[in-house]
Amino acid sequence: MAGAGKGGKSGGSAAVLGKGTRGAGGGPGLGLWLGLAALVIVLDQLTKTLVIASFTLGDSQRVTDFFNLVRVHNTGAAFSFLAGASGWQRWFFVGLGLAASAFIVWMIRSHPTQKLFCFAVTMIMGGALGNVIDRLLHGHVVDFLQFRFAILEPLFPGGYFPSFNIADSAITLGAACVILDEILRVRRAGR
């Protein structure tokens, strides 16, 4: 179909890749952002699968003086918030993650030229959906990255920061980028 003229369908990879990769305002399109969110989800689920296959619940493998690989199950939210609840929190966090993701897709469509903003909310969406998958498959989120810093001892027993995963890291990166985007927006508006 290389000879397709104006108005014809080329069927080539450029036409397939081009669809959805550019927004109406010239910024990256929804397809790129959804692909990036999917990459976060795949990396998150792959690492969790490796941890589940290699560690039993409660196992810990020291990597450095300040970093361990562990296997922890979190039925709550960040820092085990609501982990002691009777089970309703599983479905609450699943619904919250799905609703937030739908809202994020709407925000990306509404602000296609704001690259940093779209990147930020894409990271949040990818991380949220990664943890939603855990809650649906396992009834809890699998955490496996554990850091220890002496300076944290007044806040956390032994200086161990609560364990987390790739999805949590993506959410944190996204939140930091939302803050940075807002700071930059305010600065531009002040000029």
pLDDT digits (tens, 9 = 90+) for 119-155: 999 999 999 999 999 999 999 999 999 999 999 999 9
**Which among 44, 134, 143, 181 is annotated as catalytic?**
143
The pLDDT, as a whole number, for residue 24 is: 56
Is pLDDT of 46 > 60? yes
The pLDDT, as a whole number, for residue 10 is: 38
Is pLDDT of 23 > 50? yes
Is pLDDT of 159 > 60? yes
Q: Crossing angle, helix 115-138 and helix 166-189, to 10 degrees?
A: 160
Three-state SS at 9: coil
**Which among 44, 59, 65, 168 is annotated as catalytic?**
168
Residue 181 annotated to the active site: no
Tell me the sheet residues that pair with 68: 62, 146
Residue 168 annotated to the active site: yes
Q: Please state, rounded to an integer, the average pLDDT across all residues of the chain.
A: 86
29 φ, ψ (degrees, to nearest 5)? -85, 175
Three-state SS at 60: strand
Which tokens go with 61? 């493998």
The pLDDT, as a whole number, for residue 7 is: 40
Is pLDDT of 9 > 70? no
The model's confidence at residue 5, banded by pLDDT at 50, 70 and 90, is very low
pLDDT in tens, 76-115: 776 566 666 667 878 888 999 999 999 999 999 999 999 9
pTM attached to this predicted model: 0.82
Which residues lie below 8 Å from residue 158, measured CB to CB, with a gap of 6+? 148
Burial class of residue 142, CB neighbours in 10 A (0-12, 13-18, 19+): buried
**What is the number of H-type helices and E-type strands within the chain?**
5, 3
- Residue 182 corresponds to which amino acid? E
Residue with tokens 């296959």: 53
Q: What is the mean pLDDT of residues 37-48?
A: 98
